[in-house]
Amino acid sequence: MNTNYNSAYEQLTAEKIAVLKNEPLKNHTTFKIGGPCPLFVTVNSVQELKTTLKILDTHKIKFFLLGNGSNLLVDDSGINSAVITLSGEFKKIEINGNTIACGAGVSLAKLCTAAAQANLQGLEFAYGIPGSTGGAAFMNAGAYGGEMADVLTLAEHITQDGEDGITKGEQLQFGYRSSCYRQNGCIITKLHFALQPGKFEEINAKMKDVMQRRTDKQPLELPSAGSVFKRPQGAFAGTLIEQCGLKGYKIGGAEVSAKHAGFIVNSGGATCDDVLNLIKHIQTTVQEKTGYFLETEVIYLK
């Protein structure tokens, strides 16, 4: 670890901000793959986040904001930047009438459950998506006919200079698996959702149905990063991969799921290189046989 990282570590510790050195990222991704990062920082408040950003900037240290680690593939050699993860007040949920506000570190499962218990509908589609609300907003996560753009009305954030800000309505620039936050470099801290009144029994039944459909169709029993590829226009990635006879195809410990060809699973001891080589093989094969080029949805960190 170089001098800058050591100095930043000492400053963060002096500020009583939780920080680990050389933390393996395989412990924090749903793929269970990834080497170490020099500093792994857990912040519990907006003020701690601002202090952390200032310290990292002083030492010219890049950072990556980690949600639930569910859409990530991290290089086996690790990454040369700090990782920040949100806890504490970022895990809180507030309900006011038909509106729910929550910290960006809240899991989608917890948010959906809270909405159901408050007899509020509109988030059922997100139940079972293995991510944080901040990550879901960042990429406009969606499933089963719904997406974050349908319910998210306002996001609070901090710029990389430590300034507070908000984005709402059309400013969020939602598109397929994208939002303004993919470009502007701001850190989402809090989210506001506009929902509709409903009955708990009906909402809960929809959530159970969504989860059952996920369990039936997706390889939830094995580590993965969810859907590896974006949906190509006019087709489905999983269907194209299956049509090319790639279900069950393996490179090292990385395998095209026999349950859903749109998933690559860690069948045991998979390395990042295994996954990257398998992705390349899938892309080449599908393009040669169908004419479609599959663009990756999973984020690769190196």
- Give bridge partners of residue 227 from the DSSP assignment: 263
Residue 251: the pLDDT is: 98
Where residue 44 falls among pLDDT bands split at 50, 70, 90?
Answer: very high
Query: Could you give the CA distance from residue 258 to residue 80 in angstroms, rounded to a whole number?
Result: 35
The CATH architecture assigned to 219-301 reads: Alpha-Beta Complex (3.90)
Fold of domain 92-204: 3.30.465
The CATH architecture assigned to 3-88 reads: 2-Layer Sandwich (3.30)
Residue 179: the pLDDT is: 95
Phi-psi domain of 28 (left: phi exceeds 0; alpha: psi -120 through 50; beta: other): alpha
Give the pair of three-digit tokens for residue 270.
Answer: 């998979």
Q: Which residues of 37-75 are buried (b: 16+ CB within 10 A; e: fewer)?
A: bbbbbbbbbbebbbbbbebbeebebebbbbbbbbbbbbb
What share of the chain in percent tops pLDDT 70? 100
Where residue 128 falls among pLDDT bands split at 50, 70, 90?
Answer: confident
> What is the mean pLDDT of the segment spanning 117-145?
93
Query: The pTM is what?
Result: 0.92
The lowest-confidence range among 65-74, 115-124, 267-276 is: 65-74
Tell me the range of 157-161, 213-217, 270-274 where mean pLDDT is highest: 270-274
In the chain, residues under CATH classification 3.30.465.10 are: 92-204
Q: Strands 263-266, 224-227: parallel, antiparallel or unpaired by DSSP? A: antiparallel
As to burial, measured by CB atoms within 10 angstroms (0-12 exposed, 13-18 middle, 19+ buried), residue 134 is: buried
Give the pair of three-digit tokens for residue 242.
Answer: 């299956």
Instruction: Using DSSP, state whether 294 is helix, strand or coil.
Output: coil
Rg (CA), the chain: 20
Q: What is the mean pLDDT of the chain?
A: 95
In the chain, residues under CATH classification 3.30.43.10 are: 3-88
Q: Nearest-5° angle of CA 124, CA 127, CA 132?
A: 120
CA end-to-end span of the chain: 17
Residue 130: the pLDDT is: 87
> What is the mean pLDDT of the segment spanning 68-78?
94
The lowest-confidence range among 7-11, 116-120, 159-163, 185-189 is: 159-163
Q: What does the pLDDT look like over 204-257, one tens digit per residue?
A: 999 999 999 999 999 999 999 999 999 999 999 999 999 999 999 999 999 999
Give the pair of three-digit tokens for residue 54.
Answer: 């200032």
Where residue 1 falls among pLDDT bands split at 50, 70, 90?
Answer: low
Residues with a known catalytic role: 177, 227, 297
Q: Nearest-5° angle of CA 138, CA 27, CA 225?
A: 45
